[in-house]
Chain A
Amino acid sequence: MKFDKINRRSFIKSSAVAGAGLALPTIFTSSARAYLNEPKGSTVKLGFNVPQTGPYAAEGMDELRAQQLAVEHLNGEGDGGMMNTFSSKTLKGNGILGKKVEFVSGDTQTKSDAARASARSMIEKDGVVMINGGSSSGVAVAVQGLCQEAGIIFMAGLTHSNDTTGKDRKANGFRHFFDAYMSGAALAPVLAKAYGTDRKFYMLTSDYTWGWTQADSMKTFLEEKGWDMIKDVRTPVGAGDFSSYITPVLQSGADVLILNHYGGDMINSLTQSVQFGLRDKQANGKNFEIVVPLYSELMAEGAGDNIKGVYGSMNWNWQLDNPGTKAFVKSFGEKYGAPPSNSAQTCYVQTLLYADAVERAGTFDPCGVVAALEENTGSIAGIDSPSNKGFMFDGMGTGKTMYRSADHQCFKDVLVMKGKESPTNKYDILEIVETTPVSNVWYEPDNEMFGGKDASLGKCNSGA
């Protein structure tokens, strides 16, 4: 019964919209393409979909803080942060295309179904033009699919699975974060140098898309270096007590444990591994070592002393010495009293890059934004490949950075990190061991780990 839904208020609203439409000169209405959630008034609404509960909640809260900061900077409040160092100069602090930026936030609960529900509500009820952020690749893949179907832009946030821009890549989705392949490629040489080439490793792996591709990548690159895998054991997300998975490691004959865990899970599994004496153990005549391939400041802080000497990789770190990083750390640190995490930086940069793409496209139309983010403005030096082209920019904290047109994956240098042995204060817990140049972590868009030849972006969707 459709007629039930018409009440006085919605009738007035719709007749007002219809009236406004009729009153407009036809030149506007006929030339502009219609698209979903086109901002009509003086404001535009962005959707920030982050985990506020669940094992990755701490990352989500930091993302939300960064996104609020980005909105302030876009609207001309605060010191402007990375807008001052960004190589593209379209952002003037007057919102996006002159419209004041507003945002709504949703809780993904670190679960795919909850994330889809909150994204859907933001698209349908709040009328957002893009969704930004999130933690967990399971969530990212699910929400990216939803945004593609609905016809809005998705900027993926903290997602590290190869699948996000691999077999599950979508035309409306972009990922600023690095991926499991890059972590493996960057970590393996450093690990081989530090621990030798004759090592036997055991992996505990989060049982979902991120864990699977992370384990795959680590295995591939470590075996290239001569390491042997003893076993890869899958663990449920949010298991809490990992002791029954850790004890078999003791007699497995392995001398390295790789924890493909993240967030609260990694805090628990690393803490418990240390409780079970793995760090003090000798195996095969060598010191037993633990590796956490994907690091974050918040996890390092949560794991406390247990992180000392543990290797991992990162997308970005606040200790980097460049103008973009300095500007961002200053405005974030002054507002929130702590240095930003790499997930915060990702979501902040994604918000600015989206705004810049809209300015360059001159429209919020998702297909226009996709074209602007795919625009070929250069290529990465030292890589000879036809796919080496896309939107190049600088000044966002990671040096010369490219959004590759072919698969919407961001390419930049990867940081290999290590827990500091003797931290001097609570901010001084991780150190940058090596900056692996992007050419060492480069792969082709049709790489087998990324869906091979069948993977395709499909067509952009404007939703109308």
Chain B
Amino acid sequence: MDAIILQILNGLDKGSAYALIALGLTLIFGTLGVVNFAHGALFMIGAFCAVTLQKLMGLSFEQVDPTQKDFLGNPLKVQVPYVESWFGHDIGAAIIDWSVPLAILLAIPVMVAIGFAMERGLIKHFYKRSHAEQILVTFGLAIVMQEVIKYFFGANPIQTGAPEAFTGSFDFGALLGFSPDVIIYPYWRMVYFLFAVLVIGAVFVFLQFTTFGMVVRAGMVDRDTVSLLGININRRFTIMFAIAAVVAGVAGVMYAPILSPSFHMGMDFLVLSFVVVVVGGMGSLPGAVLAGFVLGILQSFASMNEVKAIIPGIDQIIIYLVAIVILLTRPRGLLGRKGVMED
């Protein structure tokens, strides 16, 4: 029982990331009809916003400390961050400590800018082309973004710590009456799950309860009729693209303390997120979120030793197995609508 609770918790944070990326993918697909293979790269760029801010905050000047010696026996040069010298030691250190959540403020304008540039500069020209061509051009774009990041940040994962207050872990077992030290879950992963719920909720509220959202939903169902009513639906879709980019970006920012960002992390998530979209049902936002969490949890269960003892290597293929089964039994996915990608 405790093992099961632990794996459900464990699947939640992975599922949160899948759900956030799949939500953006579905938004773009539902509004613009574009299959965006560069979406994983947007997640990765979000994570690097956190890295960048942490590096910027850490920018420092050297001060020679004659009381200490370095490995060659010379006086040690101590790095003092500018932020600490400007705001005083305590406030400066706190700003550096909280740089990952603060990076959301940086990521939002950056992602909006990248989203607009991508949509207006490139993807706009591919609306009338086939899905295969859209996939090729966005995939190419993803490779370009990766290589740019690799050029500036190198190939290694870069440790990007959560604020000191969230570095420990929470003993769930004690709360639920199990023996202590058995069901332990890091604070930051709980923060990530709550954050994902918040973002997903905000996107749904925006689409359900605002006029803008209503128009966008109408446009998703019947683009031509909405245009005939004199509404500039294309402009609204561009804004939705930027919103999807922001969702992927902030998802990446907050994921940085869980998985040290490297230039390749987007690709790892992209493929899985596409499976999530397909399992959830192409074009279905609730389907994407549901499938994200379900697959995240299933993947966690598949990593349990008891499961692996029955089917070795199942943890590596479970997601694809589920996708095959779902596509065979429910070809439109869990919550797919009729008529999407079926023409």
Query: Besides the contacts A248-B303, A304-B161, what 19 more A-B pairs have beta carbons closer than 8 Å?
Result: A52-B155, A54-B155, A233-B305, A240-B265, A241-B14, A243-B14, A244-B11, A247-B10, A250-B6, A250-B183, A264-B156, A267-B159, A275-B167, A275-B169, A276-B185, A277-B168, A281-B181, A302-B156, A424-B68
Task: Please measure, in the bound complex, the distance between the C-alpha atom of A52 and the C-alpha atom of B156, giving whole angstroms.
Answer: 9
Binary A-proximity of B43-87 (CB < 8 A = 1, otherwise 0): 000000000000000000000000010111000100000000000
Interchain CB contact under 8 A, B159 and A271: yes
Interchain CB contact under 8 A, B157 and A267: yes
Interface set of A (CB-CB < 8 Å, partner B): 52-55, 57-58, 231, 233, 236, 240-241, 243-245, 247-248, 250-251, 264, 267-268, 271, 275-277, 281-283, 302, 304, 318, 329-330, 333-334, 339, 424-425, 427
**Segment 290-341 of B: residues with Cβ below 8 Å from A:** 299-300, 303-305, 308, 315-316
Chain A nearest CB from B62 CB (Å) reads 12
Task: Please measure, in the bound complex, the distance between the C-alpha atom of A233 and the C-alpha atom of B303, giving whole angstroms.
Answer: 10
Question: Within 8 Å of chain A (Cβ to Cβ): is B268?
Answer: yes
Question: Within 8 Å of chain A (Cβ to Cβ): is B188?
Answer: yes
Closest to B302 in A: A244
Interface size on B, residues (CB 8 A): 46
Interchain CB contact under 8 A, B188 and A250: no
Question: Within 8 Å of chain A (Cβ to Cβ): is B259?
Answer: yes
Interchain CB contact under 8 A, B316 and A244: no
Interchain CB contact under 8 A, A276 and B184: yes
Closest to B265 in A: A240
Interchain CB contact under 8 A, B157 and A264: yes
Chain B nearest CB from A240 CB (Å) reads 5
Interchain CB contact under 8 A, A330 and B159: no
Q: Is the interface of B mostly helix, strand, loop or mixed?
A: mixed
Binary A-proximity of B253-274 (CB < 8 A = 1, otherwise 0): 0000011101001001000000
Question: Within 8 Å of chain A (Cβ to Cβ): is B182?
Answer: yes
Interchain CB contact under 8 A, B303 and A244: yes
Interchain CB contact under 8 A, B259 and A268: yes
Interchain CB contact under 8 A, B181 and A244: no
| B155: chain A residues within 8 A (beta carbon) | 52-54, 57
Question: Within 8 Å of chain A (Cβ to Cβ): is B117?
Answer: no
Interchain CB contact under 8 A, A241 and B305: no
In-complex Cβ contact of B181 among A250, A267, A271 (8 A):
A250
| B305: chain A residues within 8 A (beta carbon) | 231, 233, 248
Closest to A51 in B: B155
Given A241-B258, A277-B184, A427-B70, CB of A251 within 8 Å of CB of B10 = no
Task: Please measure, in the bound complex, the distance between the C-alpha atom of A134 and the C-alpha atom of B180, giving whole angstroms.
Answer: 44
Interchain CB contact under 8 A, B70 and A425: yes
| B188: chain A residues within 8 A (beta carbon) | 275
Task: Please measure, in the bound complex, the distance between the C-alpha atom of A55 and the C-alpha atom of B264, giving whole angstroms.
Answer: 11
Given A241-B258, A250-B182, A277-B169, CB of A329 within 8 Å of CB of B72 = yes
Task: Please measure, in the bound complex, the distance between the C-alpha atom of A382 and the C-alpha atom of B308, giving whole angstroms.
Answer: 47
In-complex Cβ contact of A248 among B3, B70, B169 (8 A):
B3
Closest to A301 in B: B159
8 intermolecular pairs with C-beta atoms under 8 Å apart: A57-B154, A241-B259, A247-B300, A248-B3, A275-B189, A277-B169, A277-B181, A281-B184
Residue in B72, B156, B189, B258 with the greatest tally of chain A CB atoms within 10 Å: B156
Closest 6 CB pairs of A and B: A244-B303, A277-B169, A53-B155, A275-B186, A277-B184, A427-B71
